[in-house]
Amino acid sequence: MIEVQGLSKRFVQGRGRGARAVQAVDGVSWRAADGAITGVLGPNGAGKTTTLRMVAALIEPDAGQVRVDGIDVAREPRAALRRMGVLSDARGLYPRLTARENIVYYGRLHGMSQSAASARADVLAAMLDMKLLLERRTEGFSQGERMKTALARALVHDPANIILDEPTNGLDVLATRALRRALRRLRDEQGKCIVFSTHIMQEVAYLCDRVVLVAHGRTVAEGSVAELNARAGQDDFEETFVRLAFSAEERGHAGLA
Amino acid sequence: MIGDAWAVFRKELTDALRDRRTLLMVLLSSVAIGPLVLVLISALVSGIERQAEARELVVHGIEHAPTLRNHLLRQTYTLRPAPPDYERQLQDSKLGDPVLVIGADFEADLARGEPPVVEVVGSSANPRAQTGMNRLMQLLEGFNHEQATLRLAVRGVSPAALQAVQVEERDLAGPATRAAQLATMLPFFVLMAVLYGALNAALDTTAGERERGSLEPLLMNPAARSALVLGKWGAVASVGMLIAVLSCFSFLPGQWLLRSETLAALFRFGPPEALRFLALLLPLAGALAALLMAVAIRCKSFKEAQANATIVVLGVSMMPLVNLFSQEGEQPWHLWVPALAQVTLMGRVLKGEALGPLDVFVPLLVSAAVTALGVAYVARTLRSAALR
Is A11 an interface residue toward B (CB < 8 Å)? no
CB-nearest partner of A78 from B3, B222, B383: B222
**Extents of the domains making up chain A:** 1-11+22-83+160-257, 92-158
Cα–Cα distance, A182 to A241 (Å, whole number)? 26
- Specify whether the CB–CB gap between A93 and A149 falls below 8 A: yes
Give pLDDT, residue A106.
95
Q: Which residues of A touch B15 (CB under 8 A)?
A: 94, 96-97
Closest CA to B143 of B86, B65, B212, B220: B65
Q: Cβ separation of B209 and A92 shorter than 8 Å?
A: yes
CB atoms closer than 10 angstroms to residue B336: 13
Give pLDDT, residue B152.
85
Is B145 an interface residue toward A (CB < 8 Å)? no
Q: Cβ separation of A94 and B214 shorter than 8 Å?
A: yes
Cβ contacts of B100 within 8 Å, gap of 6 or more: B57, B58, B59, B60, B62, B118, B119, B120, B121, B136, B140
Q: Which residues of B touch A57 (CB under 8 A)?
A: 220
- The parts of chain B modelled with pLDDT lower than 50 are 175-176, 180
Lowest mean pLDDT among A48-62, A184-198, A233-247, B64-78: A233-247
Q: Which residues of B touch A95 (CB under 8 A)?
A: 212
CA distance A251 to chain B (A): 32
Res A64 pLDDT > 60? yes
Is A161 an interface residue toward B (CB < 8 Å)? no
Q: Cβ separation of A88 and B217 shorter than 8 Å?
A: yes
Bridging pattern class, strands B56-60 and B78-81: parallel
CB-nearest partner of A96 from B15, B216, B219: B15
Q: Cβ separation of B220 and A90 shorter than 8 Å?
A: no
Is A108 an interface residue toward B (CB < 8 Å)? yes
User: Which residue is closest to A77 within chain B, CA to CA?
Assistant: B222
Strand-pairing partners, residue A2, are A32, A68
Q: Cβ separation of B220 and A109 shorter than 8 Å?
A: no
Is B19 an interface residue toward A (CB < 8 Å)? yes
Lowest mean pLDDT among A56-70, A179-193, B324-338: B324-338
Judged by DSSP in three states, B196 sits in helix
**Extents of the domains making up chain B:** 2-42+177-387, 54-170
User: Number of C-alpha atoms within 13 angstroms, CB side, residue A238?
Assistant: 4
B189-232 pLDDT per residue, tens: 888 889 988 999 999 999 999 999 999 999 999 999 999 999 99
Give pLDDT, residue B333.
83
* pLDDT confidence band for A146 (50 / 70 / 90): very high
A79-127 pLDDT per residue, tens: 999 999 999 888 899 999 999 999 999 999 999 999 999 999 999 999 8
User: Number of C-alpha atoms within 13 angstroms, CB side, residue B5?
Assistant: 14
Domain B54-170 top-level CATH class: alpha beta
CA distances to B189, B200, B297, B299, B369 from B308, in Å: 22, 13, 10, 8, 22
Length of chain A: 257
Res A191 pLDDT > 60? yes
Is B88 an interface residue toward A (CB < 8 Å)? no
Question: Which of B9, B11, B210 is the mutation pick for testing A, counting most A CBs within 10 A?
Answer: B11
Is A83 an interface residue toward B (CB < 8 Å)? no
CB-nearest partner of B3 from A82, A94, A111: A111
Is A53 an interface residue toward B (CB < 8 Å)? yes
Give pLDDT, residue B172.
66
CB-nearest partner of A92 from B7, B18, B213: B213
Give pLDDT, residue B94.
83
Give pLDDT, residue B51.
67
Tell how many helices (H) and how many strands (E) occur in chain B: 17, 4
Is A105 an interface residue toward B (CB < 8 Å)? yes
pTM of the model: 0.81
CA distance A200 to chain B (A): 23
The conformation of residue B117, written as its DSSP 8-state character, comes to -
Report the Cα B74 to chain-centroid distance in Å.
41
Question: Which of A96, A109, A115 is the mutation pick for testing B, counting most B CBs within 10 A?
Answer: A109
User: Which residue is closest to B215 within chain A, CA to CA?
Assistant: A92
| CATH 3.30.450.90 describes domain A1-11+22-83+160-257 | no
Question: Which of B19, B216, B384 is the mutation pick for testing A, counting most A CBs within 10 A?
Answer: B216
Give pLDDT, residue B378.
94
Cα–Cα distance, B209 to B12 (Å, whole number)? 11
CB-nearest partner of A86 from B14, B212, B220: B220
